[in-house]
Amino acid sequence: DVKVTQSSRYLVKRTGEKVFLECVQDMDHENMFWYRQDPGLGLRLIYFSYDVKMKEKGDIPEGYSVSREKKERFSLILESASTNQTSMYLCASSATRSGKNYEQYFGPGTRLTVT
Amino acid sequence: QQPVQSPQAVILREGEDAVINCSSSKALYSVHWYRQKHGEAPVFLMILLKGGEQKGHDKISASFNEKKQQSSLYLTASQLSYSGTYFCGTDPGAGSYQLTFGKGTKLSVIP
């Protein structure tokens, strides 16, 4: 059974703290993604990675960075958390074969509250 | 730019049909559809590739018109289990690895 796991389901941090969100997939997928989900705004892509140590900015990368040192693990970093980063964060992974995008598998999400 | 989904929300009685539309301002290679139930992660339903392909998943089917840059999701004889938020994700192709998701359509099926 395919699996994407995220380090925490709920997280509360203070403004200015450095926050690490971790995601692990066990499907040997090339691609990994970080989204944030806010009511009425859908899923918005923060960053994605198509290979180890490779990363690309998504639609809303400001205030975030990422790290992918191993194929199965993709970390999202908030260098200095702010209240407007309070949100649900979803990690996903997918395979790419013959240039085609395959379905994305999502983790359960981390609800981050910054106070 | 996010694709536009319509309607934003719909309420159905069990057994009724619904159509959810997804429209993009960009040329598309494929369209993905996902469903997210309350408190859960989004789950993949189907992919539609360039070529007007139609796909089905149980009593849920979809079409893709690449000329119009639109896709529609058809839910037939809805069941309570169909309740959730439906997202389309658009893929421009050309070596892109990412999807751009719409804002979602909230579907509520009532007895």
CATH number at residue A80: 2.60.40.10
Taking the Cβ of residue B4 and every Cβ of chain A, the question of whether any pair is shorter than 8 Å is answered with no
Within a domain: A110: no
Task: Report d(CA B109, CA B111) in Å as an integer.
Answer: 7
Nearest residue of A to residue B36 by CA position?
A: A106
Nearest residue of A to residue B39 by CA position?
A: A108
CB burial of residue B104 (10 Å; 0-12, 13-18, 19+):
buried
Q: Which of B83, B1, B96, B102 is nearest to B37 (CA)?
A: B83
pLDDT digits (tens, 9 = 90+) for A19-72: 999 999 999 999 999 999 999 899 999 999 999 999 999 999 999 999 999 999
Residue with tokens 């990994």: A32
Q: Please give the pLDDT value at position B68.
A: 85
Q: Testing the interface with B: which of A4, A94, A103, A110 to mutate, by most B Cβ within 10 A?
A: A103
Mapped onto helix, strand or coil, the DSSP state of residue B32 is: strand
Burial A27-47 (b: 16+ CB within 10 A, else e): eebbbbbbbbbeeeebbbbbb
For residue A83, give its domain range: 4-104
| Structural domain count of chain A | 1
CB-CB neighbors (< 8 A) of B99 in chain A = 45, 101, 104
pLDDT digits (tens, 9 = 90+) for B15-25: 999 999 999 99
Q: Please give the pLDDT value at position B97.
A: 76
Within a domain: A64: yes
Inter-residue contact B33 to B62 (CB < 8 Å): yes
Task: Indicate the residue type of B75.
Answer: L
Nearest residue of B to residue A49 by CA position?
A: B97
Taking the Cβ of residue A51 and every Cβ of chain B, the question of whether any pair is shorter than 8 Å is answered with no
Q: Please give the pLDDT value at position B96.
A: 75
With 90 as the cut, is the pLDDT of residue A113 above it?
Answer: yes
pLDDT digits (tens, 9 = 90+) for A74-87: 999 999 999 999 99
Within a domain: A111: no
Point out which residues pair with B58 in neighbouring strands: none
Within a domain: A96: yes
Q: Please give the pLDDT value at position B51.
A: 67
Q: Please give the pLDDT value at position B58.
A: 74
Residues of chain B predicted below pLDDT 70: 51-57, 94
Q: Please give the pLDDT value at position B25.
A: 92
Q: Please give the pLDDT value at position B59.
A: 83
Within a domain: A74: yes
Inter-residue contact B64 to B52 (CB < 8 Å): yes
Q: Please give the pLDDT value at position A99.
A: 64
Within a domain: A8: yes
For residue B9, give its domain range: 4-110
Q: Residue B31 is part of a domain; what is its CATH number?
A: 2.60.40.10
| Structural domain count of chain B | 1
Sequence-ordered strand ranges (E) for chain A: 4-6, 10-13, 19-25, 31-38, 42-51, 54-57, 65-70, 73-78, 87-94, 96-97, 100-101, 105-106, 110-114
Within a domain: A69: yes
With 90 as the cut, is the pLDDT of residue A2 above it?
Answer: no
